[in-house]
Structure formats: C-alpha cells, structure tokens
C-alpha cells in the first residue's frame, strides 16, 4: 500500500499468533481514528494498551511492539504528509473481493471506535463536527456494515473490483479530511515524535 511499508499478510499473521483482540484492518482503522481524534501521543497510548491485551511474550512480543510502532509512525507520517500517501491498510488486490470488503468494513468500524477512544463524542460533540465531518462519520458507519459476495463471472468480478476501488478511495480521502479537520496544523508541522 502506498505510504505504509507493511506486508499485510505477515503482520496480520503475527497479530493472530499474538492473540490480538483486533484483526489488522480493524486495528489500523482504530489507529487512524485515535490519531485523528487525539494525535500521535494518543495513538501511542492506545497501541501500548493493545499490546497489553495480547497473549504473547519474549521475542514475539518485542517483534509485535516494533512492528506496531513502525505502523503507528508510518500512519502518522502518511496522514500528515503532503504527498497524499495515506491509504487504509487492507488485504492486497489478489485477495477475494468479499475478504477485501469485510476488511474495509472492519477498518471503518475500527476508525469510528478509534475516534471515540481518542475522545471525540460522535453523538453530542457538535462543536468539533462540521456538516462534512458528520456526513463522513455517517458514511463510514454504513460502510462498516457492508459485505460483498464474490462475482460469479469475470465481468461481475471486474465490476466489483472497480466499485470496491472507488469505495476505498472515498474512505481514504474521507479519513484524510477528518484528520485535517481535527488535528491542529501546528501539531502536524511541529517537531516529529515517535509512537512508542
């Protein structure tokens, strides 16, 4: 995926082996939501608590901690960058469309949960929610309920892939917009910090 140098399959497997309460797509969505609502330091705290919930120790725990720290830093850099590198971390295009759709739904669910974990009240905090932001939150909630049935023919599969790509692009741009709406510019351009 652009902007985040992470092998989805290997990190997903590591999370699974570690007893993570969240699959990778949902974890990345949550990470992005926490970053949007409370910045890089909030994300670091959330990742630390997630690591505490994993049933792993020793070298495996250290590897997972390092991989999640890298993911947090890369995600922060992609969201705050000017190169439009940010994208949701999802299975690659070789995966079945229903698996990718399920992962996108989990990503959106995680993102909304991350906004709340980061301190944003999605119901009553009208002072921070513009009309556009409220609409995106509502759309993400709908996407989080979505699923897909694999196409029966090659032509149907291509249509599904095209529609799915448009949906991913909408989520990508929407998450970037939410970040820019909620995180003050000085926090984005300030001194670099490390998610740890």
* 76 touches 40 (CB < 8 A): yes
In a domain, 115, yes or no: yes
In angstroms, rounded to a whole number, what is the distance separating the alpha carbons of residues 105 and 2? 20
In a domain, 184, yes or no: yes
Q: Three-class SS string for the chain?
A: CCCCCCCHHHHHHHHHHCCCCCCHHHHHHHHHHHHHHHHHHHHHHHHHHHHHHCCCCHHHHHHHHHHHHHHHHHHHHHHHCCCCCCCCCCCCCCCCHHHHHHHHHHHHHHHHHHHHHCCCCCCCCCCCCCHHHHHHHHHHHHHCCCCCCCCCCHHHHHHHHHHHHHHHHHHHHHHHHHHHHHCCHHHHHCCCCCCC
In a domain, 196, yes or no: no
Total number of domains in the chain: 1
* 187 touches 163 (CB < 8 A): no
- Residues contacting 49, CB < 8 A, separation 6+: none
pLDDT in tens, 21-31: 999 999 999 99
Say if residue 120 is exposed, middle or buried (CB neighbours under 10 Å; 0-12, 13-18, 19+). buried
In a domain, 3, yes or no: no
In a domain, 194, yes or no: no
Output the domain CATH number for residue 133: 1.20.120.740
What pLDDT is stored for residue 147 in this prediction?
62
What are the average pLDDT values for consecutive 10-residue runs of the chain, which has 196 residues? 70 91 96 95 93 80 92 94 88 91 97 94 72 92 77 56 93 96 70 42
What pLDDT is stored for residue 126 in this prediction?
57
In a domain, 47, yes or no: yes
In a domain, 1, yes or no: no
The token pair that represents 84 in the structure block = 């439009």
pLDDT in tens, 75-99: 999 999 877 789 999 999 899 999 9
Range of the domain at 139: 8-189
What pLDDT is stored for residue 46 in this prediction?
95
What pLDDT is stored for residue 196 in this prediction?
39
Question: What is each CA distance from 161 to 3, 7, 93, 154, in whole angstroms?
Answer: 21, 21, 8, 10
Residue carrying structure tokens 């439009």: 84
């Amino acid at each position: 995926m652009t902007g985040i140098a992470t092998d989805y399959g290997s990190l997903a497997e590591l999370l699974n082996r570690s007893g993570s309460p969240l699959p990778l797509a949902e974890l990345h969505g949550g990470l992005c939501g926490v970053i949007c609502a409370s910045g890089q330091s909030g994300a670091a705290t959330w990742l630390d608590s997630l690591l505490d919930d994993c049933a792993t120790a020793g070298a495996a725990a250290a590897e997972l901690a390092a991989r999640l720290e890298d993911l947090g830093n890369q995600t922060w850099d992609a969201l705050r960058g000017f190169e439009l590198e940010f994208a949701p971390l999802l299975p690659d295009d070789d995966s079945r469309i229903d698996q990718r759709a399920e992962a996108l739904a989990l990503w959106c669910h995680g993102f909304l949960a991350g906004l709340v974990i980061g301190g944003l009240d999605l119901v009553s905090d009208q002072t921070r929610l513009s009309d556009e932001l409220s609409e995106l939150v509502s759309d993400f909630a709908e996407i989080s309920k979505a699923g897909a049935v694999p196409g029966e023919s090659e032509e149907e599969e291509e249509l599904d892939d095209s529609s799915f790509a448009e949906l991913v692009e909408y989520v990508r741009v929407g998450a970037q917009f939410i970040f820019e709406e909620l995180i003050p510019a000085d926090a984005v351009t300030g001194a670099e910090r490390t998610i740890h």
